[in-house]
Structure 1
């Protein structure tokens, strides 16, 4: 692809461009294709919530959106291997759930949460590239599925019990074979290759092609984009090296080794903690 046609990576765009209301059509298109629904984004919320106590964790997510149905949608992109990423997904959903229910509100006001996770490493074991998780209650004796009563359907405006609970989507981008068979595949092709497949018709990709071109950035943003892409390549290289060296040093030592290397390269403590699994406190004391 020529420099003129080079498209911005989706994760960088989420942090810098897609929060703008004028670009919501891109996120709406992606989410509509993934969730098989007509998603309208009402608001992009703060994506880092406060700590309740000194030893609590921040709830850092790449984007936290509120749709027109007052449902929460978390979108996260993870480039580097994180062995406890499943628990991170759970934590993010749990934190978002409780933080958007005010004291004294009834439980029926708890917001539905969708957790969308775009990962560029081999998370878990599975050959597919799109996974969907939801909560269902199955009878141990009769095998039937617990459902809502008519009164509950009316009260909650939901047709099935699982729709009250969080739903998870995991996109294992590296498992995709670059053959786009449907509109969601066209999006995954872009997420993997930073290109749009020829003849693509997926909702939102026209806006991607129009607005997410590297050459359309300001000089400062373009320099920042290239710098962050280079940093990402460096992160991957450092992590791969640490994993190899860590076999002889032990797991904790390998994490500390890579943290020190990243500190020497100028990475901030938050980034180092996210990539190594160490706490920010441990990183700060190195």
Structure 2
């Protein structure tokens, strides 16, 4: 459901909750990169999307993988290098958000949600100078380095109250509160109703929607034809009046767009 462009509202709600800021998806990118050599690994990810500033990788994992942290590091590194080639400045490096929805035990820890990022520890917070256009500006490492989100679905065992908890509940057992206000979940519920229909019922529903679309197209076409006919009648009336007033034929043609033959026939 999250991969389909028609369901951007669900994906945007998911990202808004887990990244803690409003997310607007511009496009879904290829989720598996090509190998540069025979020895190279495929960068297998479920969803790769881009918002207005950054790139987002989402992996949904059902099976245990021994070196999973190394795997997501490789995926992020691959995504970064895909967008910067030899000769480009490092300013072109994109910040990456990596979100992993895990349905297996990755290690010890009592929480169900973990955030991680590179940071530099000292007596104060380090700011780095970067060049943006023609100005030197200071940016925090958090604005540059990738961010990682690990969602340990099986560890969630709470009453869903907040939007984040509601999303965790949905990821774990597929249930959505009827009164939910969590971003993306009410839209997800409507999509799930469609996906859960028996094949015959879904086919009938699709045929119904197709019939409604055709009917709307017919009505729109009729309205458009009516407007065109009304406009044509107005031009004919204008040309008739101009001809009676003795206006030159070339002026009538320029004003109404009618042909000389139609004007002569009036």
Shared fold (TM-score, shorter chain, > 0.5): yes
- Whether 2:69 is the aligned partner of 1:86: answer yes
Task: Please state which structure has a larger fraction of its residues in strand.
Answer: 2
Structure 2 gap segments, 5+ residues each: 204-266
CA apart distance, 1:163: 1.6
- Whether 2:48 is the aligned partner of 1:64: answer yes
What is residue 19 of structure 2 aligned with on the other side?
35
What is residue 39 of structure 2 aligned with on the other side?
55
- Whether 2:177 is the aligned partner of 1:197: answer yes
Question: Of 124, 144, 157, which aligns to 2:107?
Answer: 124
Higher relative contact order (CA 8 A, sep 6+): 1
1:158–1:25: structure 2 CA closer, same or farther, 3 Å change rule?
farther
Answer whether contact 1:189 1:197 (CA < 8 A) is retained: no
CA distance in 1, matches of 2:161, 2:138: 31
CA distance in 1, matches of 2:136, 2:114: 26
CA apart distance, 1:35: 0.7
1:154–1:104: structure 2 CA closer, same or farther, 3 Å change rule?
closer
Could you give the per-residue CA deviations for residues 216-248 of structure 1, whole angstroms, max 9, x where no partner exists? 4756x99xxxxxxxxxxxxxxxxxxxxxxxxxx
Could you give the per-residue CA deviations for residues 163-219 of structure 1, whole angstroms, max 9, x where no partner exists? 201000000000001411311111111000111134321100111011123334756
CA distance in 2, matches of 1:152, 1:144: 24
User: What count of residue pairs does the alignment treat as equivalent?
Assistant: 202
Query: Over alpha carbons, which structure has the higher Rg?
Result: 2
Q: State the TM-score, normalizing by the size of structure 1.
A: 0.65
Answer whether contact 2:126 2:140 (CA < 8 A) is retained: no
CA apart distance, 1:91: 0.7
Could you give the per-residue CA deviations for residues 233-273 of structure 1, whole angstroms, max 9, x where no partner exists? xxxxxxxxxxxxxxxxxxxxxxxxxxxxxxxxxxxxxxxxx
CA apart distance, 1:75: 0.4
Answer whether contact 1:32 1:39 (CA < 8 A) is retained: yes
What is residue 246 of structure 2 aligned with on the other side?
none
